Amino acid sequence: MRTTLILLVASLFADLVPQVPAANADRSGILTNVQTVKESTIAGRKVVRYTHPSLDLWNYEKPQCDYFCLVYPKTLATGKVPLRVILHSAGGGGELQMTSKLNKDPTNLVAGTDESSYGLYLDCLDNKATDWWWGYRPTIQKSQDRYKNELCPTEKRLLATVDWVSRTFPIDSNQVYLSGISMGGSGSLGLGMCHGDIFAAIAVIVPAGVEHVQFRMQNGQHPEPPPILNFSSQSDGWSRGQERLIADCQTNHYSMVFAWGPYGHSDNATVYHAAAYEFPWLSIRKNVAYPVFTNASTDDSYPGFMNLTAPQQKGQINAYFRWKNITDTARSFVMELRLLKPGELHKPVDAPARAIADVTLRRLQQFHVQAGKTYKWQLTSGNLPFQSGQIQADAAGLLTIPKVKITDTPIQLRIEFD
């Protein structure tokens, strides 16, 4: 009788605990034999280049040696600090991109490293035959059946390196961010979107393809995906498939701020999209819930690949929304929602004063949602309720509040058990 009861309780808890897929569980192993090769100072910051041999469990066809560069914060803090993980473009390697950005553009959105963070610059150029396109083209694309439920060697190496840095240095594990331009953007989407248990958020500029991320996300077996900040261009020959990515995010309630313009394969996004460029993606934490906005009335219509005649040749999706968590307990959840306020950005933006959007909650911490259960929700402004109702959690255990009215005056969304 006691054994039966234990098995029954275990079964009930198994339904409530997110199951980590095999591809994520078989991740990387512990990086060993890491050697310091060179120490230098760039733009007033300490930089160390490390090398290490490949591990047998990564399953490279032949042993190889790789390197990575670590940029220290300009001033070392007493507590734990964020980690910026940067994947380079096809135009260079890890050290080249690091040196270029630290010397010329240290505040670059996705290739720079802010002075209060560690910056990890990974490389896939030295062993291009196996690692190029961050493992997708030379490995995954040629053996899709094998790697459908297994990480490829390059992916394992990258995650092992992130893990080693996080263990070795005072890194806040809830503030690890992934970013890249072009090929680095493609790799960031492919590596990061299915690893929301590691990365708090992702930012990419003109990602060179969506095949990697779509391959990794196809079976739906992954932790909560991190929010994405994505700048692409309909006039970029590498932007094919961005329509599918937008549709996938809408359908599956993944969080993505998306902005575009006729700037081709370049990083000129700031010229068009201050609201998106100043989106506070580096304030998103892995241990704090976030909202997903879909079907927003303030969204523009993406023209589509090489459509240079559609009306909205520059536009955005979700760039105007901001939020703040208030309460996340076992019995209730409260979040503040708002639009950009006039004058909030460094560059003037003609932001809307009101929006209507569906709001889905992700990364809830203490407030656990069960599929099929009903919950009460209420919207208040100045402590006065103006919208309320009941909502049933979907099969994935997500709560989506329909047609939420949001303005530049903060409102509060409250969720409770019915």
Per-residue model confidence (pLDDT) at position 9: 33
Averaged pLDDT of the chain: 91
* Closest C-alpha among 131, 127, 133 to residue 90: 133
For the stretch 174-185, pLDDT in tens is 999 999 999 999
Could you tell me the pTM of the whole model?
0.92
Q: How far apart are CA 16 and CA 12, in angstroms?
A: 7
Per-residue model confidence (pLDDT) at position 78: 85
What is the token pair recorded at 400?
């989506």
* Closest C-alpha among 283, 213, 229 to residue 109: 229
Per-residue model confidence (pLDDT) at position 379: 97
Q: How far apart are CA 119 and CA 276, in angstroms?
A: 22
State mean pLDDT over 196-214: 97
Q: How far apart are CA 171 and CA 167, in angstroms?
A: 8
Which residues are CB-neighbours of 79 under 8 A, at least 6 positions away?
Answer: 170, 172
For the stretch 108-158, pLDDT in tens is 888 889 999 999 999 999 999 999 999 999 999 999 999 999 999 999 999
HEC per residue, the chain:
CHHHHHHHHHHHHHHHCCCCCHHHHCCCCCCCCCEEEEEEEECCEEEEEEEEECCHHHCCCCCCEEEEEEECCCCCCCCCEEEEEEECCCCCCHHHHHHHHHHHCCCCCCCCCCCCCEEEECCCCCCHHHHHHHHHHHHHCCCHHHHCCCCCHHHHHHHHHHHHHHHHCCEEEEEEEEEEECHHHHHHHHHHCCCCCCCCEEEEECCCCCHHHHHHHCCCCCCCCCCEEEEECCCCCCCCCHHHHHHHHHHHCCCEEEEECCCCCCCHHHHCCHHHHCCCHHHCCCCCCEEEEECCCCCCCCCCCCCCCCCCCCEEECCCEEEEEEEECCCEEEEEEEECCCCCCCCCCCCCCEEEEEEEEECCCCCCCCCCCEEEEEEEECCEEEEEEEEECCCCCCCEEEEEEEECCCEEEEEEEC
What is the token pair recorded at 99?
């040196």
CA 37 to chain centre: 31
Q: How far apart are CA 80 and CA 72, in angstroms?
A: 13
Per-residue model confidence (pLDDT) at position 121: 98
Which residues are CB-neighbours of 227 under 8 A, at least 6 positions away?
Answer: 201, 202, 255, 256, 257, 281, 284, 290
State mean pLDDT over 169-194: 98
Per-residue model confidence (pLDDT) at position 106: 84
Per-residue model confidence (pLDDT) at position 152: 97
Q: How confident is the model at residue 190 (pLDDT cuts 50, 70, 90)?
A: very high
> Strand order of the sheet with strand 65-71?
35-42, 45-53, 65-71, 118-121, 81-87, 171-181, 201-205, 228-232, 256-260, 315-317
Q: How confident is the model at residue 418 (pLDDT cuts 50, 70, 90)?
A: confident
What is the token pair recorded at 196?
């929301």
Q: Is the model's pLDDT at 372 over the cut of 50?
A: yes
Is residue 288 within 8 A of residue 365, CB to CB? The reply is: yes
Per-residue model confidence (pLDDT) at position 27: 57
Per-residue model confidence (pLDDT) at position 412: 97
Q: What are the residue boundaries of the structural domains of the chain, listed by start?
A: 17-319
Is residue 352 within 8 A of residue 407, CB to CB? The reply is: no
- Third-level CATH fold of 17-319: Rossmann fold (3.40.50)
What is the token pair recorded at 386?
């103006």
* CA distance from start to end of the chain: 34
Per-residue model confidence (pLDDT) at position 221: 83
Q: Is the model's pLDDT at 270 over the cut of 70?
A: yes
Q: How confident is the model at residue 348 (pLDDT cuts 50, 70, 90)?
A: confident
Give the torsion sign (CA, 293, 242, 188, 368): positive
For the stretch 20-44, pLDDT in tens is 333 333 457 899 999 999 999 999 9
Per-residue model confidence (pLDDT) at position 352: 94
Q: Find residue 325's DSSP bridge partners.
A: 335
Is residue 87 within 8 A of residue 187, CB to CB? The reply is: yes
